[in-house]
Structure 1
Amino acid sequence: MSTLPVTSAGEPRTVLITGTSSGIGLAAAIAAAQAGWRTIATLRDTGRADALRKAAAEAGVALDIRQLDVVDPDSVAAAVDGVIADYGRLDAVVKNAGAGHVGTLELESVDDVREVMEVNFFGVVNVSKAALPHLRATGGRLVTVTSVGGVIGQPFNEAYCAAKFAVEGYMESLAPVAGAVGVRVSVVEPGAVATEFVNNIGLDVEARLAAAGPYADAMRHYIDRTVGSFLDGAQTPAGAAEAVMEALGAETPAFRIQTSPWAREFTGVKLADRDGSAVVGMTGTWVA
């Protein structure tokens, strides 16, 4: 059985989605609206909403597009309070906003690492904290788009994977507590997705390699391998958004939902790896 996007009284259920300017967030907003959810599509800069508006028009769906900056608690509170004021309820939240990052310990500052954590971890915490009382009132869903990088640490992604690991640990720990008050918690784990995510990292490959010193060879191997995986085997945003809809619609959604057979196989290496040798052996081939 699945959860209908309307209440027993026939009123639309309301979902708020962050990070909807492109990629999985945009696709999830369109899919939720098509499924009958009243969809609040949020993004940090509403000036970047053209692609979202175009996709909604092409799909023939209505979206309520609002500003929300996940690293600003006041912005988060204003967005959530505005939804409650306008619609009286919040039934689900999909936390998709995040930022990629490539770097390694000797080549970046501690402040760089803190910035990655601020967006990818504390942004999730900010939105979850603001939403949870309202989700508790409706018996709602708290869904976070993480990454296979939240399960398997990856070379030159120490800060990014640390943030995603933190999200997974936080949500896994929260899940039984939230469940005790009627809120279902899930994480959605994509692998490579054909989105603007890689471009948004803003990586100047040649400049980064020139500054990489003793890590240059390993970084080149990593970048070549990673770019190839996005070009050759990336999943579509719409395909990844299907896992988000599973988390929203299943009567009893799993806590951990991978978005593709590849993502299930990849994360399975870690989940079956008792001593860590399989993971380190696998990722070691990415830099040599």
Structure 2
Amino acid sequence: MSSPKTVLITGTSSGIGLAIAIAAARAGWTTIATMRDTGKAEALLKAAAEHKVTDRIQVKRLDVVGPESIAACLDEVIAEHGRLDALVNNAGAAQVGTIELSSLDDVRTAMEVNFFGVVSATRAALPHLRASQGRVITVTSVGGIVGQPFNEAYCAAKFAVEGFMESLAPVAATFGVDVTVVEPGAVASEFVANLGLDIPALLAEAGPYAPALQAYIARTQQAFGNAQTPAEAAAPVIEALTGDRPAFRIQTSAWAREFVGTKLTDLDGSAVQTLTGNWVR
């Protein structure tokens, strides 16, 4: 009897990552649920108990901005399970601000977590995924296709992830490794809440950008009021994990497909500029 397939998921303490971990375990996978601070595993472990999948979920520490942390975690996984069949890059961090008001350190931090963290985890996992002819699935964002106001650093990082994965996919395929990006829109999770934004202070510090920022915040709050649940956003990830031939690019909702489609058919950029321009007026 063959051993269950093993998947490593980053950023599983809350939101989409937590939902992916539970769904993967329910699908029969040995699930390595990683997070930077394992002291925040309570919500995941509670959900695992509720869904009766505690025996299929292992919590491990992994900090995507630390190559040594990634290597140590993967060494443990291979030592304990003998294989890695899939990597789900989910860890990420939002960053709200426009470049004149943001420091270069803010931009570098966004790139470290959202782009270089994905690159580091993927690079470390690939030898094991080549051996298993496994999969790399990366949760990006519709913001990896459509640049959005006051999200310059975040969208730049997600654009970089999309370009990295689109370039890697045909190379990985020569070894039987599938590469997929999954693009959620607004998701009702702790991702945005974890920013800890003080909106009045943000507006007070925005100077000439305050009117545009206020319009953007109002629009964004409305969008998150009609957001998908983490479980809904996680479902396409599980389909990519378990399906026969996953597509390279998958959106998690009809709204996300329409939004991304606006960009992919917008050869001169005017449609996107009209759309997002309305968010700041």
Could you say which TM-score interval applies, normalised by the shorter chain? over 0.9
Q: Any residues of structure 2 matched to 1:169-208 within 5 Å, and which?
A: 169-208=163-202
Shift in Å, 1:11: 1.5
Whole-Å Cα distance in 1 between the matches of residues 2 and 28 of structure 2? Answer: 11
Shift in Å, 1:129: 0.6
Whole-Å Cα distance in 1 between the matches of residues 139 and 193 of structure 2? Answer: 19
Among 119, 126, 130, the residue aligned to 2:120: 126
Give the 3-state SS of the residue equivalent to 1:107 in structure 2.
coil
Whole-Å Cα distance in 1 between the matches of residues 196 and 167 of structure 2? Answer: 33
Aligned residue number for residue 106 of structure 1: 100
- Give the AA of the match of 1:260: S
Shift in Å, 1:108: 0.9
Shift in Å, 1:10: 2.6
Aligned residue number for residue 141 of structure 2: 147
Long gaps (5+) in structure 1: 1-8
Aligned residue number for residue 274 of structure 1: 267
Whole-Å Cα distance in 1 between the matches of residues 2 and 108 of structure 2? Answer: 45
Aligned residue number for residue 253 of structure 1: 246
- Give the AA of the match of 1:261: A
Shift in Å, 1:110: 1.0
Aligned residue number for residue 65 of structure 1: 59
Give the 3-state SS of the residue equivalent to 1:51 in structure 2.
helix
Aligned residue number for residue 230 of structure 1: 224
Whole-Å Cα distance in 2 between the matches of residues 188 and 202 of structure 1? Answer: 26
Aligned residue number for residue 44 of structure 1: 36
Shift in Å, 1:201: 1.4
Whole-Å Cα distance in 2 between the matches of residues 42 and 122 of structure 1? Answer: 17
Shift in Å, 1:265: 0.6
| 4+ residue runs over 3 A deviation | none
Whole-Å Cα distance in 2 between the matches of residues 271 and 201 of structure 1? Answer: 30
Among 69, 72, 77, the residue aligned to 1:75: 69
- Give the AA of the match of 2:5: R
Shift in Å, 1:173: 0.2
Cα RMSD after superposing both structures: 0.6
TM-score, scaled relative to structure 1: 0.96
TM-score, scaled relative to structure 2: 0.98
The percentage of counterpart residues that share the same residue type is: 69
Q: How many residues align?
A: 279
Aligned residue number for residue 47 of structure 2: 55
Aligned residue number for residue 18 of structure 2: 26
Whole-Å Cα distance in 2 between the matches of residues 45 and 110 of structure 1? Answer: 26
- Give the AA of the match of 1:276: G
Whole-Å Cα distance in 2 between the matches of residues 284 and 150 of structure 1? Answer: 18
Shift in Å, 1:111: 1.3
